[in-house]
Amino acid sequence: MMSILFVGMICSISCADIFLVQVPVASLVGKTIGLYFSAQWCLPCVKFAPKLISIYQEIKQMLGEKGDDEDFDVVLISNDHDQESFDSYFETMPWLALPFGDPTGKDLAKHFDVRGIPCLVILGPDGKTVTKHGRNLINLYQENAYPFTKAKVELLEKQMDEEAESLPRSVFHSGHRHELTLVSEGNGGGPFICCGCDEQGSGWAYQCLECGYEVHPKCVSAAADRDSSDNS
């Protein structure tokens, strides 16, 4: 699959922010790959990119400490309108990218039916699609989402269900005037856009039953911690 999607030396990596170096596509074989469809003009992309960079570095460090041949990389598939925008966006990133204007980008977007950005498609070491919902998994589970497989997601969902048992059934959140009720995915919890961090969510959520306001449980906790520190 990897050889079908990529041909030749089409990936570039920023080298000391001075010039671009082409690397062979063969270097991606055997790795878990994230295809990151994004653009500098897209506000959600600009907000998500720093989070993805942080998680990427955490995963790379984790794999390095394991000391085996397992590896992870990301390839930026830019939807920027000009070379200058692409360059300034890409130079902030620690991973690979398709060169600006490469028609392969449109082919990949069509192949994976990308309908909006940011979008993170995960390919397994065998080149097969693992998930098209990498962004959502990153938001929910951070570096723990790796390697993004169905088995790993099921394990994380089970852990989330167990953790939810210790959460309060209702809370008041600083960003909303009504009481919020803890709901599961099967009872109105997802998918949703968190009103606290503006990112995707699914599974458990705190929801206002009056107006539909929803936040991740972690965002409510973060707000509660901040309020506690402000009052101390």
Q: Is residue 153 part of a domain?
A: no
Where is the domain boundary, 93, 120, 148?
148
Where is the domain boundary, 122, 148, 174?
148
The amino acid present at 164, given as its one-letter code, is A
71 and 128 assigned to the same domain: yes
Residues 174-220: tens digit of each pLDDT: 778 788 888 876 565 556 778 878 777 777 788 887 777 888 888 87
Q: Are strands 72-78 and 96-97 parallel, antiparallel or unpaired?
A: parallel
Residues 130-187: tens digit of each pLDDT: 999 999 888 878 898 999 999 999 998 888 788 777 788 888 877 787 888 888 765 6
Q: Is residue 132 part of a domain?
A: yes
Judged against a pLDDT cut of 60, whether residue 83 lies above it is answered with yes
Judged against a pLDDT cut of 70, whether residue 12 lies above it is answered with no
- Whichever domain contains 170, its CATH number is 3.30.60
Distances (CA, A) of 113 to 35, 106, 122, 183, 204: 13, 10, 13, 31, 27
- Whichever domain contains 37, its CATH number is 3.40.30.10
105 and 218 assigned to the same domain: no
7 and 117 assigned to the same domain: yes
Domain extent for 97 = 2-148
Judged against a pLDDT cut of 60, whether residue 229 lies above it is answered with no
86 and 129 assigned to the same domain: yes
Sign of CA dihedral 45, 47, 50, 55: negative
176 and 122 assigned to the same domain: no
pLDDT for the residue numbered 73: 92
Measured at the CA of 21, the angle between CA 101 and CA 84, to 5 degrees, comes to: 40
pLDDT for the residue numbered 80: 94
32 and 140 assigned to the same domain: yes
Residues 94-126: tens digit of each pLDDT: 998 888 888 888 989 999 999 999 999 999 998
Separation between Cα atoms, residue 1 and residue 112, nearest integer Å:
13
Counting other chains too, the contacts that 52-55 makes at CB distance below 8 Å and 24 or more residues apart are: 52/120, 52/135, 52/138, 53/92, 53/93, 53/94, 55/138, 55/142, 55/143, 55/145
Q: Is residue 155 part of a domain?
A: no
pLDDT for the residue numbered 147: 95
Distances (CA, A) of 133 to 116, 149, 212: 12, 11, 23
pLDDT for the residue numbered 11: 56
174 and 97 assigned to the same domain: no
Judged against a pLDDT cut of 60, whether residue 89 lies above it is answered with yes
118 and 179 assigned to the same domain: no
